[in-house]
């Protein structure tokens, strides 16, 4: 099966004075797995509901494969959806739930039976066909919901925080399962979560939403390595952010560190440095231009990794995470420490 292209064009949605989505643009390639990641209230569900046809955009247009969707009822959009609260029909058995989309499409009974069985086998629930949803565990219910959403092979699959009601272990299992199913059926997936780890592990691309706007959309690695704003740097993973001064001629100074670094981006106002990208300099290394100094204020031992909070002479705190080599003696709490980083690892921030 082939996934469809999904395209949001200048979509805006207001509820009275509340702007839930503003000038939302998103282009999803056929078969791509895109995640909307954002805090509660950032407009994720609003975007999904407009694509599903549950609510109308105030302005703008949504397309599936170049077909404009305004005025198309949900039942005519051929989109699969998994809901946060499972939304299984409590009065129908597992098999009847999964058969529902096929029944609505007037598929012949014999074919319904084979396809329902295949879908239930796919989520390893073949033995539960005759049960009612109330007799299933949370994870099993969400598997049924997943089977029901894909049994009619929709070219677009929507999932709205569909794992957030489950505990961590189940969530990880189902993440794996969703990725496998995505690989197997090749459908286009628009996935919604507020869990950054979930977004990072599952997606081809992640769109970070804040206040109804996409603040950055990129592949997980790019998003982690090159956040473009303080908001994104802070939202994804841990980050140390430093203001820049004198950004001219491809250079900039970092006043907190008292050093100068190459800075090709003339619009940068700050840099983001991941804690694991900062190196502890042991012994002398006078040639390294990005060496700066501080005092270890606190340290946390994680086994293979040690995290240290370092106080710079400007008073700023920063976090460093180092792999422990075991050979060299690391500075401990209260001792002076020398740090360095590769300027290429410093992501320039535009605001």
Ligand X SMILES: Nc1ncnc2c1ncn2[C@@H]1O[C@H](COP(=O)(O)OP(=O)(O)O)[C@@H](O)[C@H]1O
Binding residues for ligand X (CB under 6 A) = 15, 18, 20, 38, 40-46
Please state at what angle helix 109-122 crosses helix 94-104, rounded to 10 degrees: 130
Residues in contact with 227: Cβ distance below 8 Å, sequence separation at least 6, in sequence order: 216, 233, 236, 239, 272, 347, 349
Which residue, 24 or 341, is less far from ligand X as judged by CB?
24
Asked if residue 185 binds other proteins (CB under 8 A), the reply is no
Which residue, 45 or 216, is less far from Mg ion as judged by CB?
45
Pick the piece of the chain touching other proteins (CB under 8 A) from 88-96, 196-204, 262-270, 325-333.
Answer: 88-96
45 touches 54 (CB < 8 A):
no
Which residue, 54 or 89, is less far from ligand X as judged by CB?
54
Which residue, 13 or 228, is less far from other proteins as judged by CB?
13
Query: How far apart are CB 44 and Mg ion at their closest, in Å?
Result: 5
The 35-54 contact track toward Mg ion, x by CB under 5 A, reads ----------x---------
CA 101 to chain centre: 29
Burial 307-335 (b: 16+ CB within 10 A, else e): bbbbebeeebebbbbbeeeeeeeebeeee
Pick the piece of the chain touching other proteins (CB under 8 A) from 13-21, 87-95, 168-176, 287-295.
Answer: 87-95
Asked if residue 38 binds other proteins (CB under 8 A), the reply is no
Please state at what angle helix 138-150 crosses helix 109-122, rounded to 10 degrees: 130
- Nearest residue (beta carbon) to Mg ion: 45
64 touches 155 (CB < 8 A):
yes
Q: 91, 183, 289, 332: which one contacts other proteins (CB under 8 A)?
A: 91
236 touches 210 (CB < 8 A):
no
Give the residues lining the site for other proteins (CB under 8 A): 52-54, 73-75, 77-81, 83, 85, 87, 89-91, 100-101, 104-105, 132-134, 148, 152
């Amino acid at each position: 099966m082939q996934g469809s292209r999904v395209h949001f064009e200048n979509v805006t949605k207001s509820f009275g004075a509340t702007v839930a989505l503003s000038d939302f643009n998103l282009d999803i390639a056929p078969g791509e797995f895109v995640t909307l990641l954002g805090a509660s209230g950032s407009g994720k569900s609003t975007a999904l509901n407009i694509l599903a046809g549950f609510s109308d955009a105030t302005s703008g247009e949504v397309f599936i494969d170049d077909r404009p969707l305004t005025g198309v009822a949900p039942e005519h959009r051929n989109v699969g959806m998994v809901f946060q609260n499972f939304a299984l029909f409590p009065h129908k058995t597992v098999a009847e739930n999964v058969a529902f989309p096929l029944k609505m499409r007037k598929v012949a009974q014999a074919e319904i039976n084979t396809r329902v069985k295949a879908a239930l086998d796919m989520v390893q629930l073949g033995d539960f066909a005759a049960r009612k949803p109330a007799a299933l565990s949370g994870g099993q219910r969400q598997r049924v919901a997943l089977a029901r959403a894909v049994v009619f092979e929709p070219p677009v699959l929507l999932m709205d925080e569909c794992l957030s009601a489950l505990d961590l272990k189940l969530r990880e299992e189902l993440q794996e399962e969703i990725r496998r199913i995505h690989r197997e059926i090749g459908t286009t997936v628009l996935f919604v979560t507020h869990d950054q780890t979930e977004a990072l592990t599952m997606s081809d691309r992640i769109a970070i939403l804040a206040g109804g706007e996409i603040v950055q959309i990129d592949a997980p690695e790019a998003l982690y390595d090159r956040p473009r704003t303080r908001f994104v740097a802070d939202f994804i993973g841990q980050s140390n952010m430093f203001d820049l001064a004198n950004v001219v001629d491809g250079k900039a100074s970092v006043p907190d560190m008292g050093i100068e670094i190459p800075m090709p981006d003339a619009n940068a106002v700050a840099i983001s440095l991941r804690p694991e990208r900062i190196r502890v300099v042991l012994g002398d290394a006078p040639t390294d231009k990005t060496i700066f100094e501080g005092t270890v204020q606190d340290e946390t031992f994680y086994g293979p990794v040690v995290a240290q909070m370092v106080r710079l002479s400007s008073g700023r705190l920063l976090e460093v995470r180092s792999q422990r080599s075991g050979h060299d003696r690391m500075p401990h709490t209260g001792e002076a420490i020398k740090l360095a980083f590769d300027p290429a690892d410093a992501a320039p921030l535009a605001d």
